[in-house]
């Protein structure tokens, strides 16, 4: 990891200069770190795709400093979309809206919609005030685990970014909720820090969050609340690559299992001498102490679990083990974002 002061620190002016010189700057948000580039600078945006190894048909979120900049990027904004922006921004909610013609098509992958978000981190907001907008995909190599600290960004990119603005560990730790607000049939495209019930409360009407947990893997569907009048299937005409069934993944095979299935797997692993790292809600049982099992404990609480999930996955992935195992949280709406990410990160 590079700790050179020129590439790593909390100098917002330097970060601004680098962005203005078409360089990339990773910046902290309350969800995960973003890989920032000036959203009006084609050369810089192309660098984002190149450095991440991201296919060009994957659109980018434009981050803005406040609701006053929404009309620089989007048009035909509904009353409900404004209501949600006013309520949740700054915060972990991304709105998909009809794009203005002036938005570079490289950002939207040629689609006529644009994704907008105002992040809550003070450094991100200070930086964003100097720009109309910054694109900011999660600052990780394509398909890999999102970064929740500056050092995670450097692990993936090191000298490939002009500067990493270090704002400490991310408070939420899981990416923003993305909702399609192009018409009145509001759809959740990616679960995240804002829950369907939070949106429903603000709009005072039911909102569906029907996502395929462990999509295409074991057919388990968590059908969360309310009227079944829309679904991610309908939304798939929109390209939302973060919904691919393999994403957010560690290098080692990852299994997401109930505590009973973990016990079975570990008993077999002890016989086969397989080395496993386990993340569980309970303390390490005595029988696994001083064995090939590395045990991590985390609170059985969605906010704490989410905040530490990507860090824990990275830490476990770095160990000299063969397999990673994470205890599967309860299937209920409070855990929907965690279950979604675990499903996409897991190997079966």
For 53, 67, 297, the CA distances from 282, given in Å and listed in that order, are 38, 43, 6
> For residues 36-55, which are near Mg ion according to CB under 5 A?
none
Give 156 or 175: the residue with its C-beta nearer to ligand TXA. Answer: 175
Maximum separation of any 2 CA atoms in the chain, in Å: 63
Handedness of CA 165, 169, 174, 178 (dihedral sign): negative
Give 113 or 140: the residue with its C-beta nearer to Mg ion. Answer: 140
Give the shortest CB-153-to-Mg ion separation in angstroms: 12
141 contact choice in ligand TXA, Mg ion, none (CB below 5 to 8 Å, kind-dependent): none
Give 135 or 207: the residue with its C-beta nearer to Mg ion. Answer: 135
- CB-neighbour burial class of residue 285 (10 A; exposed 0-12, middle 13-18, buried 19+): middle
77-99: burial string, b at 16+ Cβ within 10 Å, e else: bbebbeebbeebbbbbbbbbbbb
Residue, CB closest to Mg ion: 138
Integer Cα distance of 151 and 166 in angstroms = 9
| Stretch in the footprint of Mg ion (CB under 5 A) among 132-140, 182-190, 265-273, 326-334 | 132-140
Integer Cα distance of 245 and 256 in angstroms = 14
Chain residues binding ligand TXA by CB under 6 A are 29, 31-32, 34, 58-61, 94, 96, 108, 111, 113-115, 117, 119, 136-138, 175-176, 178, 238-242
Give the shortest CB-243-to-ligand TXA separation in angstroms: 7
Structure-derived torsion over alpha carbons of residues 103, 170, 340, 52, reported in degrees to the nearest 10: 50
Give the shortest CB-140-to-ligand TXA separation in angstroms: 8
Give Rg (Cα) of the chain: 20
Residue, CB closest to ligand TXA: 242
Backbone angles phi, psi at 291, to 5 degrees: -125, -170
Q: Walk across the sheet containing 254-257 and list its strands.
A: 254-257, 323-327, 276-280, 293-297
Give the shortest CB-295-to-ligand TXA separation in angstroms: 30
Give the shortest CB-267-to-ligand TXA separation in angstroms: 38
Check binding of 346 to Mg ion (CB under 5 A): no
> How would DSSP label each residue in 288-343?
GTTSSEEEEE--S-HHHHHHHHHHHHHHHHHSS-SEEEEEPPPSSGGGHHHHHHHH
Q: Quick one: DSSP state of residue 339?
A: H
40, 138, 149, 312: residue in contact with Mg ion (rule CB under 5 A): 138
Give 295 or 335: the residue with its C-beta nearer to ligand TXA. Answer: 335
Give the shortest CB-115-to-ligand TXA separation in angstroms: 3
Give 105 or 267: the residue with its C-beta nearer to ligand TXA. Answer: 105
Check binding of 280 to Mg ion (CB under 5 A): no
Give 94 or 138: the residue with its C-beta nearer to Mg ion. Answer: 138
| Stretch in the footprint of Mg ion (CB under 5 A) among 38-46, 113-121, 131-139, 232-240 | 131-139
- Centre a 10 Å sphere on the Cβ of residue 220 and count the other Cβ atoms it contains: 13
Give 12 or 249: the residue with its C-beta nearer to Mg ion. Answer: 249
Give the shortest CB-52-to-ligand TXA separation in angstroms: 8
- List contacts with Mg ion (CB under 5 A): 138
């Amino acid at each position: 990891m590079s700790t050179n002061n020129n590439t790593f620190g909390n100098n917002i002016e330097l970060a601004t200069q680098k962005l203005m010189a078409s360089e990339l700057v990773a910046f902290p948000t309350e969800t995960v770190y973003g890989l920032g580039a000036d959203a009006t600078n084609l050369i810089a945006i192309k660098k984002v795709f190149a450095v991440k190894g991201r296919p060009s048909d994957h659109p980018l979120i434009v981050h803005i400093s406040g609701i006053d900049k929404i009309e620089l990027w989007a048009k035909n904004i509904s009353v409900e979309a404004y209501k949600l922006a006013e309520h949740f921004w700054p915060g972990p909610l991304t709105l998909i809206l009809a794009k203005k013609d002036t938005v570079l098509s490289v950002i939207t992958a040629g689609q006529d919609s644009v994704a907008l978000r105002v992040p809550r981190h003070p450094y991100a907001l200070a930086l964003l005030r100097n720009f109309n907008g910054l694109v900011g995909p999660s600052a990780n190599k394509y398909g890999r685990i999102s970064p929740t600290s500056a050092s995670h960004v450097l692990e993936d990119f090191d000298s490939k970014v002009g500067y990493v603005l270090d704002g400490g560990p991310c408070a939420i730790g899981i990416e923003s909720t993305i909702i399609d607000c192009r018409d009145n049939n509001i759809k959740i495209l990616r679960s995240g820090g804002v829950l369907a019930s939070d949106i429903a409360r603000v709009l005072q009407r039911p909102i569906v969050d029907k996502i395929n947990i462990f999509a295409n893997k074991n057919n388990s569907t968590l059908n969360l609340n309310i009227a079944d009048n829309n679904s991610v299937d309908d939304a798939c005409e929109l390209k939302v690559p973060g919904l691919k069934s393999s994403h957010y993944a560690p290098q080692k095979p990852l299994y997401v299992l109930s505590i009973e299935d973990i016990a079975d797997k570990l008993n077999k692993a002890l016989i086969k001498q397989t080395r496993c790292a386990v993340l569980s809600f309970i303390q390490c049982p005595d029988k696994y102490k001083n064995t090939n099992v590395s045990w991590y404990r985390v609170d059985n609480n969605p906010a704490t679990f989410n905040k530490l999930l990507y860090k824990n996955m990275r830490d476990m992935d770095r160990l000299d083990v063969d397999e990673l195992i994470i205890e599967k949280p309860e299937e209920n709406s409070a855990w929907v974002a965690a279950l979604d990410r675990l499903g996409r990160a897991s190997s079966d």
